């Protein structure tokens, strides 16, 4: 039956940056669909762990700074201690720095691009090596952005990183489909999280954003639940290299 192909029972998912925001919403959605969760965070994912365990699923708390490329292969090794396998990687952790392009610093550029793009690639590489060693295939879901499609204002490094995420999603899908690995991305629209707190608090920008969203509201972490379970499950086995916008219609305007 079709709904069985969305089931994730017996699968293990790594979700980066799941102590809050969109990562928390996606970790809970995957757990509701049956997956055990490896959460990779810098700070304690206390609430997420309790909610996943309340669903009867296992949760492994892996503490890492995802800005450190050399630490990434060890994440996959540590993740294997939960169930002995990895089936899904959700590359969610990300940061944004706002500054006029004319004043943007090299250190802000490096911080954003290293975490949001370079290390998304290298964690995907580490996961794919494990999928290939297991011989099971796997699912990689990268978190892109509206700024994978648009230029944005005062966020040049973020735009570069998220445009790059859409590019590597296609590139990796091309190389790894033959191993049964699906690489896709979700491009959230304007979502109410800590990442966008400054925009939500700015009455002028907030009004302009709301006016342009056909759905007439900011998105929430729960809005990513259906798309992430789809892309993490056998229901999407023939979807490769695509970036799905979950944006209340923003890009359709
Ligand atoms: P958030 O700030 O609430 O969460 C970001 C997560 O990344 C947190 O868990 C944080 O701890 C983690 N993180 C940051 N730096 C890290 C590091 N060095 N090592 C480990 N973890 C680190 O933001 P969010 O809105 O939930 O964003 C999640 C993802 O969605 C990001 O990639 C973001 O760019 C993307 N996104 C968000 C929106 C939005 O409107 N909120 C829109 C499009 C894309």
Q: Which tens digits make up the pLDDT trace of 194-225?
A: 989 988 999 999 999 999 999 999 999 999 99
Question: What average pLDDT does the segment 20-34 reach?
Answer: 98
- For atom 8 of ligand 1, the residue with the nearest CA is 17
Compute the distance from residue 67 Cα to the ligand 1 centre, in Å: 13
**Per-residue model confidence (pLDDT) at position 149:** 98
Which residues are catalytic, by number? 158
Over residues 98-118, the pLDDT tens digits come to 999 999 999 999 999 999 999
Distant-in-sequence, close-in-space partners of 52: CB < 8 Å, separation ≥ 6: 27, 28, 31, 37, 58, 59
Alpha helices in 43-105 (DSSP H): 46-54, 72-83
Ligand 1 atom, smallest distance to 219 CA:
40
| DSSP per-residue string spanning 1-32 | -GGGGG--TT-EEEEES-SSHHHHHHHHHHHH
Q: For residue 90, how far is the Cα from the chain centroid? A: 5
Say whether pLDDT at 160 is over 90: yes
**pLDDT at position 103:** 98
- Ligand 1 centroid to residue 2 C-alpha, Å: 32
Using the atom order of ligand 1, give the atom closest to the CA of residue 21. 26
Inform me whether the pLDDT recorded for 124 exceeds 90: yes
Percentage with pLDDT > 90 across the chain: 98
pTM higher than 0.95, yes or no?
yes
Please state, as a whole number, how many other Cβ atoms lie within 10 Å of the Cβ of residue 203: 8
Mutate to test the pocket of ligand 1, among 14, 19, 22 (most ligand atoms within 8 A of CB): 22
Whole-angstrom Cα distance, residue 223 to residue 229?
Answer: 11
Ligand 1 site residues, Cβ closer than 6 angstroms: 17, 19-23, 41-42, 65-67, 92-95, 115, 143, 145, 188, 190-191, 193-196
Q: What is the pLDDT of residue 184?
A: 99
The class (CATH top level) of 2-252 is: alpha beta
Instruction: Tell me what pLDDT residue 195 has.
Output: 86
CA angle 130, 43, 141 (to 5 degrees): 35
Q: What is the pLDDT of residues 53-79, one digit of tens each?
A: 999 999 999 999 999 999 999 999 999
Mean per-residue pLDDT for 171-186? 99
With contact defined as beta carbons under 8 Å apart, do 78 and 41 qualify? no
Give me the mean pLDDT over the 36-51 stretch: 98
What is the reported pLDDT for 28? 98
């Amino acid at each position: 039956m079709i709904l069985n192909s969305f089931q994730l029972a017996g699968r293990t998912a790594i979700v980066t940056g799941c102590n809050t925001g969109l990562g928390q919403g996606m970790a809970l959605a995957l757990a509701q669909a049956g997956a055990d969760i490896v959460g990779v965070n810098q700070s304690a994912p206390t609430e997420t762990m309790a909610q996943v365990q309340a669903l009867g699923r296992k949760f492994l708390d892996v503490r890492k700074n995802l800005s450190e490329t050399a630490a990434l292969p060890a994440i996959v090794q540590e993740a294997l201690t939960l169930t002995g396998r990895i089936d899904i990687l959700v590359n969610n952790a990300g940061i944004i720095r706002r500054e006029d392009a004319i004043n943007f610093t090299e250190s802000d550029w490096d911080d954003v691009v290293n975490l949001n793009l370079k290390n998304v690639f290298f964690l995907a590489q580490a996961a794919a090596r494990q999928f290939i060693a297991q011989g099971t295939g796997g699912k990689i879901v990268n978190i892109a952005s509206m700024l994978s499609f648009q230029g944005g204002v005062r966020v040049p490094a973020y735009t570069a990183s998220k445009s790059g995420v859409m590019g590597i999603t296609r590139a990796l899908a091309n190389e790894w489909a033959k191993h049964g690995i699906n690489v896709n991305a979700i491009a959230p629209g304007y979502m109410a999280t800590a990442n966008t707190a400054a925009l939500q608090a700015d009455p002028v920008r907030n009004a302009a954003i709301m006016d342009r969203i056909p759905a007439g509201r900011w998105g929430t972490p729960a809005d990513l639940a259906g798309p992430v379970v789809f892309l993490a499950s056998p229901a999407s086995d023939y979807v490769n290299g695509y970036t799905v916008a979950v944006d209340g219609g923003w890009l359709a305007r």
